[in-house]
């Protein structure tokens, strides 16, 4: 890894990787590189980003491919990342051209040679993050408990949650589970549990995208110990704070 000795890191160049795109042709860019401006894709291409004189991308001048062609004319980076790997001219989130004096960027002065951090992917794969479509991430503390109990959900887990689950445990259990998801390449998840506002806090801390819903059930629960279906009121407060 190379890191420039200057201010806080804003841009990252990942090189020597295969890039699996999500464009209409499902292209695979072998021996590719990708430039991140913060958390957004700014540019990408194939080959080692080098200068037209063959020197390292960390020098001066316009980055080009090994064959001398520009590395700044592939991909269609948008700031939301939705179509960042398509064909055509790189654009800003408003669709305006991102080409500025030959630089394919989200900001006028960002090119591969300006990267604050350069990572060698060592032949690895860069691909869109995985999506976990069903989980109760805060149940990590109960993992493997009562596995041999018949009707485990009703006879073991429901009573345990009612007695032991707290907002604090939901938060730390969620944070632990999110760390595991990140290690597997999962960046988005759908979750249903209790105290989902604390799960939302953990999402903000970990940097994951979460689609969260409060449990509604016809029995007393840890976040509504006095009456069934208390999750309606909890969900209302949760939506007012995090909805949209």
Predicted pLDDT of residue 42: 86
Domain with CATH 3.20.20.140 in the chain: 130-242
Angle between helices 231-242 and 196-206 (to 10 degrees): 30
Outline where 31-123 has alpha helix (H).
Answer: none
Backbone conformation region of residue 35, classed left if phi is above 0, alpha if psi is from -120 to 50, else beta: beta
What is the number of other CB atoms lying within 10 angstroms of the CB of residue 228?
12
Residue by residue, pLDDT tens for the chain (244 residues) are: 433 444 444 899 999 999 998 888 888 999 899 999 888 888 888 887 754 444 444 333 344 444 444 443 444 333 333 333 333 333 333 333 222 223 333 344 456 777 889 999 999 999 999 999 999 999 999 999 999 999 999 999 999 999 999 999 999 999 999 999 999 999 999 999 999 999 999 999 999 999 999 999 999 999 988 888 888 888 888 888 887 5
Residue with tokens 């801390």: 205
Superfamily of domain 130-242: Metal-dependent hydrolases (3.20.20.140)
CA distance 118 to 93: 25
Predicted pLDDT of residue 243: 74
For 18, the 3-state DSSP assignment is strand
Predicted pLDDT of residue 50: 55
Main-chain phi, psi angles of 140, to 5 degrees: -50, -40
């Amino acid at each position: 890894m190379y890191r420039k000795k200057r201010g806080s890191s804003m841009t990252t160049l990942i090189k020597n990787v295969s890039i699996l795109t999500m464009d209409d042709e499902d292209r695979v860019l072998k021996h590719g590189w990708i430039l991140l401006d913060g958390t957004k894709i700014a540019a990408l291409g194939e080959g080692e980003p080098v200068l037209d004189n063959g020197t390292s991308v960390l020098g001066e001048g316009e980055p080009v491919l090994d064959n001398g062609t520009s590395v700044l004319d592939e991909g269609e980076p948008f700031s939301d990342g939705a179509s960042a790997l398509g064909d055509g001219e790189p654009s800003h989130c408003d669709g305006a051209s991102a080409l500025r004096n030959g630089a394919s960027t989200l900001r006028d002065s960002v090119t591969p040679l300006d990267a604050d951090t350069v990572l060698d992917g060592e032949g690895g794969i860069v691909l869109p993050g995985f999506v976990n479509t069903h989980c109760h991430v805060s149940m990590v503390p109960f993992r493997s408990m009562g596995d041999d109990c018949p009707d485990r959900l009703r006879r073991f887990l429901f009573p345990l949650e009612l007695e032991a689950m707290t907002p604090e445990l939901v938060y730390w259990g969620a944070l632990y589970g999110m760390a595991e998801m990140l290690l597997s390449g999962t960046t988005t998840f759908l979750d249903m549990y209790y105290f989902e506002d604390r799960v939302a806090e953990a999402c903000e801390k970990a940097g994951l995208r979460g689609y969260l819903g409060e449990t509604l059930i016809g029995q007393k629960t840890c976040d509504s110990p006095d009456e069934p279906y208390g999750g309606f009121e909890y969900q209302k407060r949760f939506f007012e704070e995090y909805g949209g």
